[in-house]
């Protein structure tokens, strides 16, 4: 058996667990939260770091139990790097659904969680000779994130989080902050 055949039952169980968790979240009458986020991310790949750049995106958090929530974040990062006279421009968009454990009160809480996700990449390499190579790619990843949410008022929130996304040998690492609204 190959490694993929060994992982298939585990990935199936994880997928079913995430789907059941998401369905449970939709059936609850708790107060969801939405966030706009900004920060910085270092994009990693098999050959090393593509570079660091600004990150923009958002997240939606839906609590489904006393200390558990489904959190879906979408972040886009752009980076540029010089490689031996050639210019590499990169853009990565991360779609990151997660089950997160939350500890604290409604005024302030810590969270940690993770799950499977997808990274969509666009790379453009322009060589000294003016030849241009464009590539578009996407692939699955496993990510982890942790952070802190605090209430500024009963509905306005601030959020800070750190992300580690494993798709390549060198993971992408990011830190974001943002402002949110609790319904």
User: Which pLDDT score is estimated for 19?
Assistant: 57
How would residue 16 be classed by pLDDT, with cut points 50, 70 and 90?
low
Residue 70 has pLDDT above 80, yes or no: yes
User: Which pLDDT score is estimated for 87?
Assistant: 84
**% residues pLDDT > 90 (the chain):** 55
Total domain count, the chain: 1
| Strands 86-104, 33-45: pairing kind | unpaired
- Mean of the per-residue pLDDT values of the chain: 85
User: Which pLDDT score is estimated for 18?
Assistant: 62
Of residues 57 and 106, the one with the higher pLDDT is 57
User: Which pLDDT score is estimated for 125?
Assistant: 85
Of 41, 176, 165, give the one whose Cα is nearest residue 97. 165
pTM for this entry: 0.78
Report d(CA 159, CA 150) in Å as an integer: 7
User: Which pLDDT score is estimated for 24?
Assistant: 46
Q: What is the DSSP letter of 65?
A: S
User: Which pLDDT score is estimated for 15?
Assistant: 65
Domain span at 7? 3-182
User: Which pLDDT score is estimated for 12?
Assistant: 63
How would residue 116 be classed by pLDDT, with cut points 50, 70 and 90?
very high
Report d(CA 176, CA 159) in Å as an integer: 8
User: Which pLDDT score is estimated for 26?
Assistant: 43
CATH number of the domain that residue 56 is part of: 2.40.160.20
| Strands 48-63, 33-45: pairing kind | antiparallel
The mean pLDDT value for 41-45 works out to 88
Of residues 94 and 45, the one with the higher pLDDT is 94
How would residue 44 be classed by pLDDT, with cut points 50, 70 and 90?
confident
Token representation of residue 38 = 């900004």
């Amino acid at each position: 058996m190959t490694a993929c055949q060994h992982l298939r039952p585990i990935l199936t169980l994880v997928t079913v667990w995430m789907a059941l968790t998401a369905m449970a979240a939709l059936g609850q009458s708790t107060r969801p939260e939405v966030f706009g986020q900004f920060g910085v991310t270092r994009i990693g790949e098999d050959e090393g770091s593509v570079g660091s750049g600004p990150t923009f995106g958002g997240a939606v958090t839906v609590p489904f139990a006393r200390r558990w929530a489904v959190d879906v974040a979408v972040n886009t990062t752009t980076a540029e790097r010089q490689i031996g006279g050639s210019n590499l421009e990169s853009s990565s968009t991360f779609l990151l659904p997660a089950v997160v454990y939350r500890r604290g009160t409604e005024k302030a809480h810590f969270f940690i969680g993770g799950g499977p996700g997808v990274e969509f990449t666009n790379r453009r390499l322009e060589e000294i000779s003016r030849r241009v190579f464009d590539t578009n790619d996407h692939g699955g990843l496993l990510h982890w994130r942790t952070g802190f949410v605090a209430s500024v008022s009963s509905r306005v929130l601030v959020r800070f989080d750190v992300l580690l996304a494993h798709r390549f040998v060198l993971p992408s690492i990011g830190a974001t902050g943002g402002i949110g609204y609790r319904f």
